[in-house]
Structure 1
Amino acid sequence: MANPNSIVPAMEPPAGQTSNFVDPPYVGTKFVVVNCVFLPLATVAVLVRTWTRVMLVRSFQWDDYLMLAAFVLSCVLTGVTLEMLNWGLGRHMWDVPATYLSPWFLKLNVISAIFYCASTGFTKCSVLVFYMRIFPSRNFHLAVWSIVFIAAGYAVASILANIFSCNPIAMSWDATITDGTCMNRPVFYFANAGLGIFTDFATVVVPIPWLRRLQMPMRQKIAVGCILAMGCFVGIVSCIRLASLYTLLKSPDLTWATTDALMWCTIELNLGIGLGCVTAMRPFVRKYFPRLLGLSSASYGESSRARKYGHPLGSIPRSDNPGFDNSRGQGYSTNLTATLPGNESEEYILSPVEKTGKPAAGVEGILRTVEFDVENSSKER
């Protein structure tokens, strides 16, 4: 660095303070620690989710692509914000050379805001699209699409607002341009955070009315409810980030006040990615840690692979439960066989069914609930 006496600070020091370009006060260490903790957690969550969807479920859906995109953008955001530490982040502005602030710090600050807005948008849309695969209700889908529209809309609007925040655009980071106008960026961040908090809590609340309709044991319902409730932590972190943005709004010390704001952005984003992946990890837990779901290790066998869609067995029409065009009054009956783990012989797991839909007398079997598709079509002759 040049002679400290010849360096022009980015801001004149307040009364009683002097610029220190050699060993200034520094709070960037905590920012590095936060990135080293939360980004690896998000990485593990995404890897487990990807393994589950590709190797166990063998079905990589739109919500998985969206979450993967969010994670990649989060990694880019981490790289950009860590680079900002080399250009003044974590130090007071009067301890930062003016040539560091403009253009480098200001340009990286705009880039980080763009990647943050895009990543949070992908994260929320991923969780919402995942919900639509769980709950088939049309009303629920309409509610979810409404939130998707809001989350995606304000994410795109935020990206465009960051790009075109000044006229000319380069005025956002080039202090030598004086003929132009810029929006109040801290005020914009504050308003954007408020809308983000709304979508955070809406994402958690919207599936609750439909949760009780899931046909699963109460203990598993409670577990799913707890997973959804963990999403509230993201909303709480968003509220804390809002407080840090209020400090940024009031403080002219940009390089110092931005540190906490970016730190809570990192926590919120990576926590959202991690918790968003937890909702898709049930097959992984069922396969490798079945006791966490109250299952035996043998309950997740080969027969659980690749059942993407289905209907409860009870929905199939029988003579006592017509539901399709069944003019002959004949019921559906089936004998299913399966090879259980560790058993080389085929065993009947459903007893034969008579036309009345009742088990045949004298025949014992192991009753198992099975879901499968039935397509009924008629053809005029």
Structure 2
Amino acid sequence: MAAPPPSPDQFPPGYLEEDHGGRVIAAVTTILVITTILFGLRLWARSLTTAQRGWDDHVLIPAYIFLLALCGSLYAEVKQAGLGRHTVAVVMEDPNKVTKYLLLLYLLDWFYVPSNMLSRVSVVILYLRIFTDKWARAACWGVIGFLVANCLATIIAAQLECTPLAFTWDKNIEGGRCFNQILWYQLTNFPNIIGDVMIMILPIRTVWGIKASVGRKAGIASVCLTGSIGLIASCVRTSVFYIQADVIMTDPTFADEAFSWTAIECGMYFSAACLIGLRPLLARLPHFVKKRVLNASDNAGGTYAHQTNKMHLGKYYNSHYASIVADDEIGLRSQGEIPLRPTIPPAHFGRDPYGKDLSKSEIRVETNIEIRRDFDRSYP
């Protein structure tokens, strides 16, 4: 015999009216706005370069589509399935909403997992395009294989979550059973964290081997680290499944934090993939920003090549000692943005006084600037 429906008098005042769905809506909307803007900037940045679009750009398109589907599912969870409200309140209003909630929860894996995988693969493909060391490239392929395998394994496991599969969202099917779902939610987050750590350490060897100042290496490393900012959200999301395990099992529609951090994690992965490709937009910054910020960061390394940006010569000497100028740099030269580069006669190549063959290893540039002033002898 079915149990009688609960009475509203059994619950404390305000319990049935409590609704946290607005927090999920706020999180999803924020992520949707930020990722859309960054994706647009990424496409614009690629249009500013002459290089052809690579696979790191192409895979972001399906990643964004999956992200949109994820956001749409979360909106539907709140508006149509009662996410953010206590389960008992949802059942008293419409028992079918719980079935819809579980169905949308099942569909989330089809959007969340591929979007995360494609966003991180985009970052690794970018590394693959710029790394020349065979071991670094092999590591990139290994990370890509791990990310793809984890995505496929997670989706396959989601199909085996309950037997029959329809029992995943329809608990009225007789004889249906599921494995420990909360344990599965907890464990499936750790491969994401491992993948993030692998992406974070990928560029370390290459950046460390660059022949540049510590300041320049730190700047390059900071750009690479943007590809791993999703690690923060992934760790927080994992902790939510442990802290709120009881709520997720006994009052699932009220477990709004898990859904909010799902959207945030997915959005941060996609944002990281977009941010790491925005370098060409720096050329579009206002002149005073480039002069004060970019030059300041370059000069922090203390190298002579960067310090020459501060040297200004007159038109006569400028024409003699800065003859290697591209057509699009002439206008910038007048603003002091292009460092002076001396003309190097072919005779300067060969061996230096110490007998080292410079043509095979490095270039030694010696520039002598002689300034003469003729005095007017006729002046008494």
Structures share fold, TM-score greater than 0.5:
yes
- Matched with 1:307 is none
For 1:194 and 1:78, the matched residues in 2 are separated by 23
- Matched with 2:193 is 197
Aligned pairs for 1:123-142 within 5 A: 123-142=119-138
1:341 to 317, 324, 330: 330
1:17 to 4, 11, 18: 11
- The residue type equivalent to 1:280 in the other structure is G
- Matched with 2:268 is 271
Deviation at 1:92, TM superposition (A): 0.7
1:301-332 C-alpha deviation (Å, 9 max, x unpaired):
xxxxxxxxxxxxxxxxxxxxxxxxxxxxxxxx
Deviation at 1:16, TM superposition (A): 4.6
2:38 counterpart of 1:41: no
Aligned pairs for 1:172-321 within 5 A: 172-215=168-211, 218-231=214-227, 233-251=229-247, 252-257=250-255, 259-288=256-285, 290-291=290-291, 292-294=293-295
Aligned pairs for 1:133-172 within 5 A: 133-172=129-168
Three-state SS of the structure 2 residue aligned to 1:96 is: helix
- Matched with 2:319 is none
1:13-46 C-alpha deviation (Å, 9 max, x unpaired):
899527989x620011111111222221111111
Aligned partners of 1:76 and 1:115 also within 8 Å:
yes
Deviation at 1:158, TM superposition (A): 1.0
For 1:27 and 1:363, the matched residues in 2 are separated by 69
Distance 1:100 1:85, change over 3 A: farther
- The residue type equivalent to 1:338 in the other structure is A
2:58 to 41, 62, 65: 65
Deviation at 1:230, TM superposition (A): 4.2
Deviation at 1:166, TM superposition (A): 2.1
Three-state SS of the structure 2 residue aligned to 1:342 is: helix
Distance 1:350 1:170, change over 3 A: farther
- After the TM superposition, which of the residue ranges 63-72 and 212-221 deviates more from structure 2? 212-221
Q: How many residues in Structure 1 have an aligned counterpart in Structure 2? A: 313
Deviation at 1:285, TM superposition (A): 1.2
Deviation at 1:199, TM superposition (A): 0.9
- Matched with 1:4 is none
- The residue type equivalent to 2:119 in the other structure is T
Calculate the aligned-residue CA RMSD, in Å: 3.3
For 1:241 and 1:208, the matched residues in 2 are separated by 26
Larger radius of gyration: 2
Unaligned runs of 5+ in 1: 1-7, 297-334, 366-381
For 1:356 and 1:93, the matched residues in 2 are separated by 79
For 2:188 and 2:63, the matched residues in 1 are separated by 18
For 2:44 and 2:229, the matched residues in 1 are separated by 25
Aligned partners of 1:102 and 1:175 also within 8 Å:
no
Aligned partners of 1:237 and 1:268 also within 8 Å:
yes
Three-state SS of the structure 1 residue aligned to 2:11 is: coil
For 2:87 and 2:261, the matched residues in 1 are separated by 21
Aligned partners of 2:226 and 2:276 also within 8 Å:
no
2:44 to 27, 44, 51: 51
Unaligned runs of 5+ in 2: 298-322, 334-339, 352-362, 370-380
Distance 1:351 1:166, change over 3 A: same
Deviation at 1:70, TM superposition (A): 1.4
- The residue type equivalent to 1:261 in the other structure is A
For 1:239 and 1:13, the matched residues in 2 are separated by 40
1:64-84 C-alpha deviation (Å, 9 max, x unpaired):
112222122111100111110
- Matched with 1:90 is 84
Deviation at 1:336, TM superposition (A): 6.5
- After the TM superposition, which of the residue ranges 73-82 and 162-171 deviates more from structure 2? 162-171
- Matched with 2:360 is none
